């Protein structure tokens, strides 16, 4: 915490104390940064927020166009950079685990770009792989890349000085996820061709 005099070591106790001290509703930026409460879960807040993002995406996607998703994700990045900068300063940590807006926006990007059965191009890209399975693999890969942080994600995370850095490392994890999913789908097509 920035003003309590306690250690900034990332222990479960210090992070929980910091989150409670700042308060979900004490500033609009905190409400956004904490993913409307997802970041307050004591265990795996990033995974909880990613699951919430998935559920919310499935609920609103039928009413969204590609343009509206692009606008939503773009605006979400700008809003998240602002909110995470403010919350990070209040917590005394630039990228506190309780700030999960970056996971939400980055996973929406993954889900928006992954192939869909409702899109003719998506049907071709999917082959015989069901949409739910592609999204589930995307979820697992996104969490893997966000937690393990292969280069350059770790460098981006380490150099983060404000909310833009917070957003960028998760967007990089989303890029890794999409690239890996594309390779896996291509391999699935090749295997399918060999068997059939």
116 found inside a domain: yes
Alpha-helical segments (H) within 10-119: 12-22, 28-33, 45-60, 66-91, 101-113
7 found inside a domain: no
What is the spatial distance between Cα 141 and Cα 158, in angstroms, rounded to a whole number? Answer: 21
What's the total number of domains in the chain? Answer: 1
Give which of 170, 153, 173 is closest to 101, Cα–Cα. Answer: 170
The answer on pLDDT for 41 being more than 80 is yes
Tokens 């609920």 belong to which residue? 59
Which tens digits make up the pLDDT trace of 129-173? 889 999 999 999 999 999 998 988 888 877 778 889 899 999 999
Predicted local distance difference test score (pLDDT) of residue 67 = 97
158 found inside a domain: yes
Once rounded to an integer, what is the mean pLDDT over residues 43-66? 96
130 found inside a domain: yes
In angstroms, the Cα distances linking 160 to 68, 104, 167 are: 29, 18, 9
What is the spatial distance between Cα 18 and Cα 4, in angstroms, rounded to a whole number? Answer: 9
The answer on pLDDT for 34 being more than 80 is yes
95 and 160 Cβ atoms separated by less than 8 Å? yes
Q: How confident is the model at residue 192 (pLDDT cuts 50, 70, 90)?
A: low
Q: How confident is the model at residue 123 (pLDDT cuts 50, 70, 90)?
A: low
3 found inside a domain: no
Q: How confident is the model at residue 194 (pLDDT cuts 50, 70, 90)?
A: low
182 found inside a domain: yes
- The enclosing H or E element of 182 equals helix 163-195
The boundaries of the domain holding residue 67 are: 12-195
pTM for the model stands at 0.84
Mean of all residue pLDDT scores within the chain = 84
Predicted local distance difference test score (pLDDT) of residue 111 = 97
102 found inside a domain: yes
26 found inside a domain: yes
């Amino acid at each position: 915490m920035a003003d309590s005099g306690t250690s900034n070591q990332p222990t479960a106790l210090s992070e929980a104390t910091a989150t409670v001290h700042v308060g979900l509703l004490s500033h609009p930026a905190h409400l956004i940064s904490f993913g409307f409460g997802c970041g307050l879960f004591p265990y795996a807040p990033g995974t909880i927020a990613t699951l919430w993002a998935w559920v919310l995406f499935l609920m609103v996607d039928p009413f969204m166009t590609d343009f509206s998703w692009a606008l939503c994700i773009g605006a979400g990045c700008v809003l998240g950079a602002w909110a995470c900068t403010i919350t990070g300063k209040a917590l005394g940590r630039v990228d506190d685990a309780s700030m999960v807006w970056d996971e939400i926006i980055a996973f929406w990007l993954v889900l928006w770009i992954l192939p869909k059965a409702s899109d003719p191009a998506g049907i071709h890209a999917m082959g015989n792989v069901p949409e739910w399975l592609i999204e589930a693999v995307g979820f697992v890969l996104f969490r893997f890349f966000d937690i393990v942080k292969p280069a350059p994600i770790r460098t981006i995370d380490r150099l983060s000085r404000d909310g833009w850095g917070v957003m960028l490392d998760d967007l990089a994890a989303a890029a890794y996820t999409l690239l890996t999913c594309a390779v896996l789908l291509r391999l699935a097509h090749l295997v399918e061709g060999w068997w059939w």
